[in-house]
Amino acid sequence: MYLEKFQPQDGVETNLVYEMVAAKWRQQRMWMTESTALELEMDEQQIDIDEHEAKGGEKLIMTNPRRIAMAVTRMANNEKTLELLLRYETSFSRMHDRAMKALFRLREESNLRNDPKPDPPPPTPPAKEEPNQASTTTERAESPKQSECTSTPAPAQPEFRPEYYGTP
């Protein structure tokens, strides 16, 4: 059920889903344990009620809500069982929530890393030189000034490829 719902994409996500499943299973076990503990307490109360009535005491009318209330009260006052079960239940609920938040945070971070950045605009083709500009360019290339010489070469210009721009 969880694997179908969350469809983990890798081992880390799968482990987080398994952690959620384990936490939910433990929480449900605590619910069952709590119910069973209440039933046991109600059974013990019934024994006490039966003994009370056998000794000639008045007949007590015990509805299920009343029995549950008495069982919870006795467990809360006389034992640490109820407190412990509730603490475990809360802990497992938090484990489940933390694992789910971690899964969502991991996916969000993954989506941010994998979002494609917009493609840079294509380079503009160099302007075609006119005949009078060619002589100026040739003159500059033949006689560089001392201040124009550097120890690092200028970066290479990208080659103009007309097929990238839809021109033959």
Confidence grade of residue 16 (pLDDT, cut at 50, 70, 90): very high
pLDDT digits (tens, 9 = 90+) for 123-148: 777 777 666 655 554 445 455 555 55
- The whole-chain average pLDDT of the chain stands at 80
61-101 pLDDT per residue, tens: 888 898 899 899 988 888 888 889 999 999 999 999 999 99
Q: Does 120 have pLDDT greater than 60?
A: yes
Residues 113, 114, 116: CA angle, nearest 5 degrees = 110
Residue 79 tokens, joined: 């034992």
Residue 41 within any structural domain of the chain? yes
Question: What's the pLDDT score for residue 167?
Answer: 45
pTM for this one?
0.58
In a domain, 139, yes or no: no
C-alpha angle 23-25-29 in degrees, rounded to nearest 5: 115
| 86 in any annotated domain | yes
- Asked if the model's pLDDT at residue 165 lies above 50, the reply is no
In the DSSP assignment, the letter for residue 147 is G
Locate 36 and state its tokens: 């069973």
Q: How many domains does the chain have?
A: 1
Whether 55 is in a domain gets the answer: yes
In a domain, 157, yes or no: no
**Spatial CA neighbour of 9 closest among 117, 110, 112, 115:** 110
What pLDDT is recorded for position 117?
A: 63
Q: Residue 164 domain-assigned? A: no
Question: Does residue 127 lie in a domain region?
Answer: no
Supply the pLDDT for residue 124.
Answer: 77
Residue with tokens 């880390």: 12
Identify the domain containing residue 59 by its residue range: 11-110
Q: Is residue 153 part of a domain?
A: no
